Amino acid sequence: MNRRPGVSLAVKTAELSLAVPQVIAHRMTRMAFSGSKLSARDRKEFERMVTEKGVAFADAWSAMAMQAARANQAIAESLFRSFLSASRGRATYSATSAAQLQRAAWGIFSKGLSPVHRKAVANARRLGRVRSR
């Protein structure tokens, strides 16, 4: 397991911040030059542009919901252990709980960002290739 999820999240965020403007610039330029009668290639790209957002959004929400369920289960288990320790007269540590909540939040955000990152970076690569006509 990655001990520092913020690092991976920072890298994904940076890559996303570079990929998104590239994709937008390519597609806006393509729209500007497409004219009133779209080619089959343009039509396919414009349809893809719309449908992929819904798919990425659904994938992100699904991944976040699954990660939240896992995190809730782990937190509930941790709380149960704390209650057992307290009932036996042992000290519990709130700093551990706070760190666990922070890791859970990072994990949920990271899972939600992954599908969007994957699609945007792939689009930037695909659209950045020079194609001969």
How far are the Cα atoms of 78, 79, 83 from residue 1, in angstroms, in the given order? 18, 22, 27
- Residue reference for tokens 């001990």: 3
Band the pLDDT of 96: cuts 50, 70, 90.
confident
Average pLDDT over residues 119-125: 94
> Is residue 121 domain-resident?
yes
What confidence tens digit (pLDDT) does each residue in 2-57 have? 556 566 888 999 999 999 999 999 999 999 999 888 999 999 999 999 999 899 99
Cα gap 99→115, rounded to integer Å: 26
Cα gap 60→111, rounded to integer Å: 7
Cα gap 126→42, rounded to integer Å: 14
Average pLDDT over residues 82-94: 72
Residue ranges making up the domain that contains 49: 5-128
Q: Classify residue 1 by its DSSP letter.
A: -
> For the residues of 76-104, what is the DSSP string, one character each?
HHHHHHHHHHHHTT----HHHHHHHHHHH
> Is residue 133 domain-resident?
no
Position 95 scores a pLDDT of 64
> Is residue 10 domain-resident?
yes
- The model carries a pTM of 0.74
**What's the total number of domains in the chain?**
1
Position 4 scores a pLDDT of 61
What confidence tens digit (pLDDT) does each residue in 15-30 have? 999 999 999 999 999 9
Average pLDDT over residues 120-127: 94
